[in-house]
Amino acid sequence: MIVVMQARANQEQITGVVKRIETDGYTAHLSEGEHHTIIGLVGESPTPLREDNYATMDGVDKVVRISEPYKLASRTFHPHDTHVPLNGSDMGDNKVLLIAGPCSVESREQIIEIACAVKEAGATALRGGAFKPRTSPYSFQGHGENGLKWLAEAREITGLPIVTEIMDPSLVPMVTEYADVLQVGARNMQNFTLLNAVGASQHSVLLKRGMSATVKDLLMAAEYVLSHGNNKVMLCERGIRTFETATRNTADINAIPVLKAATHLPIIFDPSHATGKWELVESLSLAGIAAGADGLIIEVHSDPANAMSDGRQSLKPEVFAELVQKARKVAEAIGRGA
């Protein structure tokens, strides 16, 4: 349920509604728009929610029941787009932002070289995995904290903020020391302990859709992070698992406009994991922008043939630079910047 305050409601009246919500045993979440303040009621309480109890309070315009199970992620609660700051721009604003870098941080020299290349090409942020969840226990698992240190050095040299995956709640204090954005990977989308931990960290979060997750599942996962008062959440469509074997996953372009209608959170598209083939990344990137994605996250590697992970889907830096130019043209064609 949400309480919509009148345009002329003063702070005392807003505070009164919040206190009533807390007295009834619920948690209040404020969303302040240009004309109205909206107060969301979330949680469980033995006190039943009675709309009339709030509708008659001073300063209240109306009370609305939210039918979706995700309350804080819903556009009903937060009608205006949420903007997540990233390197002087905002993910979710008019400009389409590009996050690029290797799947894995393989060495200090490698990550600095790629960081400089993607920065020159026009990337907004640098991605790179220091901890890598792999299907096989015998595959390269990442360099851990050393990888984070190399990422931090690359940020110091290029100025690009760091996006890196987090796999375990116990690692949150360490990773937040180095990273600007915590990425929750597809395999951990419903790791609720991890979602609570990254939510409580108040760090920016990039939440990837699970391999077999519905749009509703993704939004419910985001709700865990939002429930901690952390609204710096970006959702990522990275393809889902279907019967089709021509590509690594099936790119769900539908999900981009569906999510844009359902939630106020920024939407990022990952064409690298959606296709698994570098030669398809450009086409899917342009399609994602045209469909309304607020940003792209793309894997880039200087020597894909010898990459320790996901080389098959990684673009060489010069190919990424060409993609950036085409992405800008598509963004401009639909009235956005890049």
96 pLDDT tier (thresholds 50, 70, 90): very high
Q: Enumerate residues 6+ apart whose C-beta is below 8 A from 19.
A: none
pLDDT above 70: percentage of residues in the chain: 98
255 pLDDT higher than 90:
yes
* Confidence at 164, pLDDT banded by 50, 70, 90: very high
Residue type, position 190, single letter: Q
Residue 131 CA: distances (Å) to CA of 98, 117, 167, 187, 255: 22, 23, 7, 13, 28
Does residue 55 or residue 320 have the better pLDDT?
A: 320
In this predicted structure, what is the pLDDT of residue 35?
74
CB 138 within 8 A of CB 174: no
Task: Look up the pTM and report it.
Answer: 0.91
Write out pLDDT tens, residues 227-237. 999 999 999 99
Q: Does the CA dihedral 299-301-306-307 come out positive or negative? A: negative
Q: Domain residue spans in the chain?
A: 2-64, 84-333
Mean pLDDT score of the chain? 94
Arithmetic mean of pLDDT, 138-157: 89
At 167-210, the pLDDT tens digits run: 999 999 999 999 999 999 999 999 999 999 999 999 999 999 99
Q: What is the pLDDT of residue 136?
A: 73
Per-residue model confidence (pLDDT) at position 33? 74
Residue that the structure tokens 């043209």 belong to:
329
What topology does CATH give the domain 2-64? Alpha-Beta Plaits (3.30.70)
Q: Which residues contact 83 (CB under 8 A, 6 or more apart)?
A: 90, 91, 92, 93, 266
Does the pLDDT at position 301 exceed 90? Answer: yes
Condensed to tens digits (0 to 9), the pLDDT of residues 47-73 reads: 888 888 899 999 999 998 888 889 999
Q: Which residues contact 189 (CB under 8 A, 6 or more apart)?
A: 207, 208, 209, 210, 213, 217, 218, 221
pLDDT at 207: 98
Query: 168 to each of 67, 164, 192, how far by Cα in Å?
Result: 32, 13, 11
Please report the sign of the dihedral spanned by the C-alpha atoms of residue 156, residue 157, residue 161, residue 166. Answer: negative
pLDDT at 51: 84
Contacts of 177 (CB under 8 A, 6+ apart): 148
pLDDT at 127 over 80: yes
Q: Give yes or no for residue 134 having a pLDDT over 80.
A: no
Residue type, 21: I
Secondary structure letter of residue 74 according to DSSP: B
Beta-strand relationship, 60-64 and 2-5: antiparallel
Q: What is residue 132's predicted lDDT score, i.e. its pLDDT?
A: 73
Query: How many Å separate Cα 199 from the centre of its chain?
Result: 12
Domain 84-333: assigned CATH number: 3.20.20.70
